[in-house]
Amino acid sequence: MARISAVLAAVLALNPCLGAAFPRRLLASKIPTRDVQEAYDYVVIGGGTAGLTVADRLTEDGKTTVLVVEYGELSNSSSITTVQGGFMGMSDTELLYNINSVPQTNLRNRSIAVLAGKVVGGSSAVNAMMTVRGTAEDYDRWGDFFGSDSHWSWRGLLPYFKRALNFVPPDEDVAKSANITYDTRFWGNTSGVYAGWPSFQYPGTTAQLDAFRGMPGVPFVNDSGSGEPGVYWFPTFMDPKLVERSYARTGHYDNKAANRTNYHLVTGSKVTRIILNGTVATGVSFVPVTSLSTNQTVLPTNQTVLPTTVKARKEVILAAGGIHSPQVLQLSGIGPRKLLDSANITTVVDLPGVGANFQDHGMIFAAWQYQNYSIHPSPDDLFLNDTFAAWASAVWSANRTGPNSIAIGNAAAWLPFPVISPRAANLSAALAAQNHTAYLPPDTDPTVAAGYRAQMLALAAALTSNRTAFYSLAISGGAVSGGSLVALHPLSRGTVALNATDPRGSEPLVDYRALANPLDAAVMADMLRFTRAYHLANPRTAAWNATELAPGNATETDEQFVEYLAEALSPSEFHPSGTCAMLPRELGGVVDEELRVYGVTGLRVVDASVFPTLPGANTCQTVYAVAEKAADLIRYGPAGLLKD
């Protein structure tokens, strides 16, 4: 966690008002374990982004009974509600699992913090609040793994993107002064989860956004939800009236589901396994977190805890996230036989894809400082200009407006690879020609290897496409730019596996296998080269006189960039995905197109673990859309899906 702490310290230094606490609201209702009923229609494992969304939708009829079992607690911490900076949730260790990856061979054996929300609301309670969706081609790619008639596509998901969020346009004056564009055709207005906007924007944000017009071929997009890559403004997961984080708990529990008699939520509980009768999921077993050790992450091996067992009349829905969903399956005897044998767990369904195909967005540290930057006010003025800082504090205290209503920011470039790299065609051909299996663990199952090859061929085509974003750079509006360069489609694949030496008492072993595919480094090198050109060889930024702080001008060749990435790459933007992939079973898939686990009746997975490939965007909005669609699949089947 040292690296994350350093980042947070820097954020807090830039935003001194972040530490101010807001009044805590009353806790929403929940039930104690002793009041859990013997059986429910559905038992949902995980009260996070996806789990709360699905549970809300399934109980809307007032008749369908649902139990949600969540490891974390209902928290009213100001770390969650605070908007400014967007990172307060990540600063509160009470809200996060304590997990670190295995040492990463290609990253100087660094261990990486694995951040995931441990609270009702899950990661939607602690993320950076960036409300972004991927491109149309990202979601069409998912369906293509099944065939041209798949309902997993941009058109098949757009109605659920609309249902998932309540879009509130930005203030008219702010939009005009900052040149914020949007198109309400791509948004809905019925959800309890809000996509809102701050009441202030720094003029430098607009200037730095416009500076991309000095780079050849860069597209500009009118709305972030259009499914097109380019430079654009995007909203924030924020309730615009309260000016607080809007997340799964506030949108799908507090104001609706909490008062339903057919909906029960149990918190502070760890699911130990899914109960199977043969290959039929019949219920869930869980134990109280209070029976766990002091850091609340592991069960003491010398302690026996009597579990609570609950039956599911219809289905068990697994929504524990990209790290814990594969672990729950493995503990239940669903997963790779070799792994389960090593942990002395009886294999019920040999499903090699469980825990494979692990993906996350890579964050590359890079920084430039403008020596002749005179656009004010800027984010720097919050701690360099006492007058501006006092004004910002005053308007926030008076009516919750001004700079303190900005989360991590609302502007970025999400660009196709041909726009940023002159060698897109060469790298595409190299990726297609690889012996893909050589870049997977040596004991990888042939079906998982086949799925990886299918993904790499799809991404090879995407490298030459102008409809897939590979590159993301957030705009700060200040004199220092950088630290937020993101690789949107990593080519390497990792694993999440239970710890065979203590399968039920420890967190899973998380291995990003960063830079395992050497072409990742080449793609990231060109991302850095393009960003360098934006700052140093761009007529729109020339007057600001940028100095490169990192990686430095001496880093030029691919080999030098590999050395730099070993020190400066985080393989995680805290978007763990892909570990229960929605793919054909012969491609290492874990769930089918209805999110049903292969070989098991009455069991579905609904969270980011089902993403076969990452969308080129922050994952939260896509998780909401997938969960909304999953609720319709569960209630009505494919015939009842919404169509755009």
3-state secondary structure of 4: helix
* Tens digits of residue pLDDT in 413-450: 999 999 999 999 999 999 999 999 999 999 999 999 99
* Tens digits of residue pLDDT in 596-633: 999 999 999 999 999 999 999 999 999 999 999 999 99
Residue 591, judged by CB atoms within 10 A of its CB (0-12, 13-18, 19+), counts as buried
Output the CA angle 473-547-475, nearest 5 degrees. Answer: 20
Q: What are the backbone dihedrals phi and psi of residue 170, each rounded to the nearest 5 degrees, phi first?
A: -70, 160
CA distance linking residue 497 with residue 451, whole number of Å = 18
Domain ranges, ordered by start, for the chain: 2-639
Note the pLDDT of residue 626.
98
CA distance linking residue 183 with residue 166, whole number of Å = 13
Note the pLDDT of residue 30.
85
Residue 324, judged by CB atoms within 10 A of its CB (0-12, 13-18, 19+), counts as buried
Find out whether 271 is annotated in a ligand binding site: yes
Span 71-75, mean pLDDT?
97
Confidence of residue 297 (pLDDT cuts 50, 70, 90): very low
Note the pLDDT of residue 305.
67
Q: Which residue has the tokens 């934006």?
A: 534
* Tens digits of residue pLDDT in 453-507: 999 999 999 999 999 999 999 999 999 987 779 999 999 999 999 999 999 999 9
**pTM for this prediction:** 0.94
CA distance linking residue 242 with residue 196, whole number of Å = 11
- DSSP-assigned states of every residue in 388-424: HHHHHHHHHHHHS-SGGG--S-SEEEEEEHHHH-TTH
Buried b (16+ CB within 10 A) or exposed e, 86-114: bbbbbbbeebbbebebbebebbeebebbb
CA distance linking residue 264 with residue 269, whole number of Å = 13
- DSSP-assigned states of every residue in 304-364: ----EEEEEEEEEEE--HHHHHHHHHHHTTEE-HHHHHHTT---SEE-TTTT-SBB--EEE
Note the pLDDT of residue 303.
55
- DSSP-assigned states of every residue in 463-504: HT-SSSEEEEEE---SSEEES-EEESS----BEEE--TTSTT
Output the CA angle 372-373-375, nearest 5 degrees. Answer: 150
Note the pLDDT of residue 29.
55
* Tens digits of residue pLDDT in 1-29: 333 334 333 333 333 333 333 233 333 35
Span 198-224, mean pLDDT?
98
Closest CA relative to residue 207, chosen from 562, 428, 476: 476
Q: Residue 569: count other Cβ atoms within 10 Å of its Cβ.
A: 26
Q: Above 60 in pLDDT, residue 248? A: yes
Q: Which CATH class is domain 2-639?
A: alpha beta
Distance of CA 504 to the CA centre of its chain: 26
Mention every residue, 6+ apart, whose C-beta is less than 8 A from residue 382. Answer: 14, 15, 16, 17, 388, 389, 392, 403
Q: How far apart are the first and last CA of the chain?
A: 43
CB 603 within 8 A of CB 333: no
CB 275 within 8 A of CB 309: yes
